[in-house]
Amino acid sequence: MFLNREKKASKRGASQTRLVTPTFVLVTSATFAYFVSIGALIPTIPRFVEGPLGKGEAAVGFAVGAFSISAVLIRPFIGRLGDSKGRRILMIGGSALVGTSVLSLLFVHSFPALILLRLTTGFGEAAFYVGAASAINDLAPDERRGEALSLFSLALYGGLAVGPVLGESVLGTDNFSLAFGVAAAATFAATLIALSIPDTRPEFDPDEPVSAQRVVHPAGLLPGVILATSVWGLAGFNTLIPLYALQLGMSGSKVVFFTYSVIVLAFRSIGARIPDRLGTRRVARTALAFSTAGLVVMGVWAEPVGLFVGTAIFAIGQALAFPTLMALALSAAPARERGSVVGTFTAFFDLAFGLGALSTGWVAQNAGYEGAFLIAAAVAASGFGSMIFLAKRGEMKARHAERVEEYQEPFA
C-alpha cells in the first residue's frame, strides 16, 4: 500500500514538472493566431493613416498607440476578472472583440473613426493577453516559469514575425481591404481555438485565507515600471520602421520586422531557460543594456545596414526583457492572484507602448527619425540604471542582514 502511494506521488511529481501539455499547446496556438493579426496591422496601419487618410507622422503615432489607452485602463480590472471567472472567457471574448474591430476597419474613411476602432481593439487586447498569459502561468511549474514564458512568447513573436510579412504582402501598394480582412480572419481563428481551452485556474483549499482583492497588485508595479522603459523603444520601433525604411530607400519594412522576430524567436527557444539559470535580475539588466545599444545604433547609423545591425542588437534585449521581468513579478505573489499580477504588470506595457508611439511619432515629425530613436534609447537606459540601483540596494540589504544575524547570535 505504501509503495502504491509512493508511485502515485512520484507520478504527481512528474506531471507537475511537465511543461508542454495539450492545453499549453492550445493556449500558444491561439496566441500565435492572434498575434499574426496584430503583426499584420503593424505595417498596414501607418501606411493607411499616411495614404487614404492623408495624415502625418504624429497622427501615425497616435493611431498605432491609441489601443494602449483603453488597454491600460482596463487591464487591472481584467486581471481580477480572470482570477474570479477564469482565463478562457477572457481569451474568447477578447479575440472576438479584436476581430470585430479589425474587420470594421474595412468601412473606415476618417481618422476619428479609426481611433474609435483602435480604442475598441485595446479592450479586446487587454482581455486576450491577460487570459493567455495567466493560463500559461497556471500551467507552468514554479521552477520552470521563466522557460514557460519564453516558450509562450515564441507564439507571440512567431505571430509578429509572420504577421508583418503577410500583411505587407497582401497589402501590396494599396489593397487595404484585403490586408484588414486577413488580419480579422487570423483573430477569429484564435477565437475558435480558445473555445477548446479548459479552465486552468489552480484549485485552492476553501479554508485558506484570501487576501483582499486589489485592482493594482503591488508585485507587478516595480517590474512593470522597468518593463515600460524597454517597451517605449519597442513602440517607437513598430511605429517608425515602416516609414523609416522607405526613407532609407528600402522597398519596405517586412525584412526588418522578420529579422527582429527571428532573433527574438531564436533566443526564446534556444535560450528559454536563461532567466531560470542566470537569475531574473541579472538577465533583466542585460536585456535593457542591449535594448539601449540597439536604439542608439539605429539613431546614429542612418543607413539600411545600420538599421539591420541596430535591429539585431535591439531584438536580443527585447527577447530577454519581457519573460524575465514577468517571472520576477509573479515570483512575489501567490498563485491565486496571478491574474491580478499579470493585469498590473502588462498595464505598464500598454501605457509605455501608447506613450512611446505618441511621443516618438511627434519627435520624428519635429526632430527626425534619428532623434526619436535616441530619445527612446535614453528611456531604456533609465531602466538599466534602475536595475543597477536595485542590485546595489539588494546587496546592501543582504550585508546588513548578515551583520544583524551575527550580532544576534545567542550566547553559549
Average pLDDT over the chain, rounded to an integer = 81
Give the pLDDT of residue 289.
Answer: 92
What's at 376, amino acid-wise? A
Q: What mean pLDDT is predicted for residues 198-202?
A: 82
Cell matching residue 6? 509512493
DSSP state of 109: -
DSSP state of 301: -
Cβ contact 74:350 at 8 Å: no
- Portion of the chain with pLDDT greater than 90, in percent: 26
Query: Could you give the CA distance from residue 81 to residue 230 in angstroms, rounded to a whole number?
Result: 27
In the predicted structure, residue 183 carries a pLDDT above the cut 80: yes
In the predicted structure, residue 208 carries a pLDDT above the cut 60: no
Q: Hey, how many other C-beta atoms are within 10 angstroms of the C-beta on 100?
A: 17
Q: What is the pTM of this model?
A: 0.69
Query: Could you give the CA distance from residue 287 to residue 100 in angstroms, rounded to a whole number?
Result: 36
In the predicted structure, residue 313 carries a pLDDT above the cut 90: yes
Cell numbers 537569475: residue:
279
Query: Could you give the CA distance from residue 379 to residue 300 in angstroms, rounded to a whole number?
Result: 16
pLDDT digits (tens, 9 = 90+) for 75-115: 778 877 887 788 899 999 999 999 999 999 999 999 999 99
CA torsion 31→262→388→239, rounded to 10°?
-70
Cα Rg, the chain, nearest whole Å: 22
Query: Could you give the CA distance from residue 370 to residue 181 in angstroms, rounded to a whole number?
Result: 34
Cell matching residue 86? 477564469
Total residues belonging to the chain: 412
- The full set of domains in the chain, from first to last, is 20-200+216-406 (1.20.1250.20)
Helix (H, G, I), strand (E, B) or coil at 163: helix
Q: What mean pLDDT is predicted for residues 181-190?
A: 95
Cell matching residue 330? 509573479
Give the pLDDT of residue 404.
Answer: 42
Helix (H, G, I), strand (E, B) or coil at 78: helix
Most confident of 40-49, 189-198, 233-242: 189-198
Q: What mean pLDDT is predicted for residues 176-183?
A: 93
Specify the DSSP element, H or E, that contains 20. Answer: none
> Is 14 or 358 the better-scoring residue by pLDDT?
358
Give the pLDDT of residue 12.
Answer: 42
Instruction: Please tell me the least confidently modeled range out of 66-75, 133-142, 204-213.
Output: 204-213
In the predicted structure, residue 31 carries a pLDDT above the cut 90: yes
Could you tell me where the DSSP H helices lie in 51-144? 57-85, 88-103, 111-139
Query: How large is the angle between the packed helices 254-270 and 304-330, nearest 10 degrees?
Result: 40
pLDDT-based confidence at residue 138 (cuts at 50, 70, 90) = confident
Cβ contact 347:224 at 8 Å: yes
| 3-state helix vs strand vs coil in the chain, percent to 5 | 85, 0, 15
pLDDT-based confidence at residue 1 (cuts at 50, 70, 90) = very low
In the predicted structure, residue 226 carries a pLDDT above the cut 60: yes
Q: How many CA atoms lie within 13 A of 31 on its CB side?
A: 25
Query: Could you give the CA distance from residue 153 to residue 198 in angstroms, rounded to a whole number?
Result: 20
pLDDT-based confidence at residue 329 (cuts at 50, 70, 90) = confident
Give the pLDDT of residue 214.
Answer: 61
